[in-house]
Amino acid sequence: MSHFENTLAHAQQLDVQDPLKSFREKFHFPNFHENTIRYFTGNSLGLQPKSTREYIIEELDAWAKYGVEGHFLAKKPWFAYHENLTEKAAKVVGALPIEVVVTHSLTTNLHLLMVSFYRPSADGKRTKILCEAKAFPSDQYALESQVKFHGLDVAEHLVEVAPREGEQLIREEDILAKIAELGDELALVMIGGVNYYTGQLFDMETITKAGHKVGAVVGFDLAHAAGNINLKLHDWGVDFAAWCGYKYLNSSPGGVSGIFVHERHSYNPELPRFAGWWGYDKETRFLMQPGFNPMKGAEGWQLSNAPILGMAAHLASLDIFEEAGMDRIGAKRDLITAFMEFVIDDISEKNKDRCTFELITPRDKTKRGAQLSIMAKGQGRALFDALSDLGVVADWREPNVIRIAPAPLYNSYEDCYWFGQLLEKAIQ
């Protein structure tokens, strides 16, 4: 891109012009290294907002003061604490409030949703699940176990779409072709909205329409998309989705997860599910009656009462997202990722005799988020280790990929410039 320059002055000028520059001050940066840390793993664990401590201490103080009565007497009563997160989370994923709830953990939520929405037909015809090859391992295990749970053979009933020979990315026309080919044998499409390995963003709206056209249910794992991509789950007609809160959403290690269930499924007591008390109609929950009567909307997939401390951490981050707004976050995401791409290309060209890089993430900004996956041919792990020694916190994925994520809320353009300088030093 001709309007970029790989210079410190240019990076600093971009920072001056950045509408979100003040948000960097809302986060703690790690300081465990002898060198200044350049943190680029928001796609694995987001940085801690400085406000998180205050939000959690508020609930610890309420617990100390009220004990069990904190469910009703705390400033934010625990009985309905998850409701503080609903509208804010819905804005992040482009949903109606009734379609969203924050609860449990990601893979737990995926299992709970698939219990309801992966329903192989009794006649044995519509049984297959379609997913992307090299899905995140937890998704792979969850899908395999769901197929086995129904007494079906994984090799036959779990269908993967892979990149073509010699390519790194999955062609979307291959996904759509496979959906059409499977037709009335297809029960569920379940894909990661952004592939964790390559950073490829899939066209979820088009995939959803294709799945529905053949009569399948369509769901997405948004672990690498929520807080990163400008999502419109309601408008796209997605049946269900789930995401974690600890990557781009900066909500504590192993933090709480979000569920989306489209409003057309908002109330169906006959829909199979693994039920729990906190998903029961809240007006009659304490009558302790037999027979499950679910709450309307995504809340009906809750099992147990809220993990308050984890939700407090999540609320601290969601308040920041609401202040920044996904439109501004998305605009910076595209610009800072493009600048990082330019820096990497420049360093690669200058050092092509020493080391060859290949960016396997799409170069089209509409096909990626704030992640770049670098395939370093010839010295992958050694290069990653050298970067780590210089203070770069990135992410290594076997066999030879370094993942970096310039997170819009706290990464600066100067961070990206220094990444380039340290990358060149690591090569040498």
Strands (E), 212-325: 217-221, 240-244, 257-261
Residue matched to tokens 């996956």: 373
Q: What is the CATH number of the domain that holds 288?
A: 3.40.640.10
Residues 229 and 317 in one domain: yes
Model confidence over 69-90: pLDDT tens digits? Answer: 999 999 999 999 999 999 999 9
Residues 310 and 363 in one domain: no
pLDDT value at position 173?
Answer: 98
Q: What is the CATH number of the domain that holds 375?
A: 3.90.1150.10
Confidence band for 219, pLDDT divided at 50, 70 and 90: very high
Of 90, 112, 130, the C-alpha closest to 233 is: 90
Last residue of one domain, picked from the residues 301, 323, 345: 323
Helical ranges in 118-203 per DSSP H:
137-149, 154-157, 172-182
Model confidence over 260-280: pLDDT tens digits? Answer: 999 999 988 889 999 999 999
Say if residue 23's pLDDT is above 90.
yes
Residue matched to tokens 């959690």: 56
Structural domain span for residue 96: 81-323
Residues 121 and 29 in one domain: no
Model confidence over 363-384: pLDDT tens digits? Answer: 999 999 999 999 987 777 899 9
Residue 27's SS3 state is strand
Asked if the structure places residue 412 within a domain, the reply is yes
Last residue of one domain, picked from the residues 323, 339, 357: 323
Residues 239 and 295 in one domain: yes
Residues 127 and 96 in one domain: yes
pLDDT value at position 1?
Answer: 46
Maximum distance among all Cα pairs of the chain, rounded to whole angstroms? 73
pTM of the predicted protein model: 0.96
Average pLDDT value over all residues in the chain: 96
Confidence band for 354, pLDDT divided at 50, 70 and 90: confident
Residues 256 and 362 in one domain: no
Residues 187 and 236 in one domain: yes
Residues 138 and 255 in one domain: yes
Asked if the structure places residue 69 within a domain, the reply is no
Residues 381 and 233 in one domain: no
What whole-number distance in Å separates Cα of residue 425 and Cα of residue 149?
51
Q: What would the mean pLDDT of 387-409 be, rounded to a whole number? A: 95
Asked if the structure places residue 245 within a domain, the reply is yes
pLDDT value at position 24?
Answer: 98
Positive or negative torsion for Cα 76, 77, 80, 82: positive
Q: Position 367: which residue type?
A: K
Residues 398 and 372 in one domain: yes
Asked if the structure places residue 408 within a domain, the reply is yes
Last residue of one domain, picked from the residues 323, 347, 373: 323
Q: What would the mean pLDDT of 143-161 be, rounded to a whole number? A: 97
Confidence band for 2, pLDDT divided at 50, 70 and 90: low
Asked if the structure places residue 385 within a domain, the reply is yes
pLDDT value at position 272?
Answer: 93
Residues 338 and 319 in one domain: no
Asked if the structure places residue 30 within a domain, the reply is yes
Q: Into how many domains does the chain fold?
A: 2
Asked if the structure places residue 59 within a domain, the reply is no
DSSP per-residue string spanning 200-240: BBP-HHHHHHHHHHTT-EEEEE-TTTTTTS---HHHHT-SE
Residues 386 and 293 in one domain: no
pLDDT value at position 376?
Answer: 83
Asked if the structure places residue 62 within a domain, the reply is no
Q: What would the mean pLDDT of 177-189 be, rounded to a whole number? A: 98
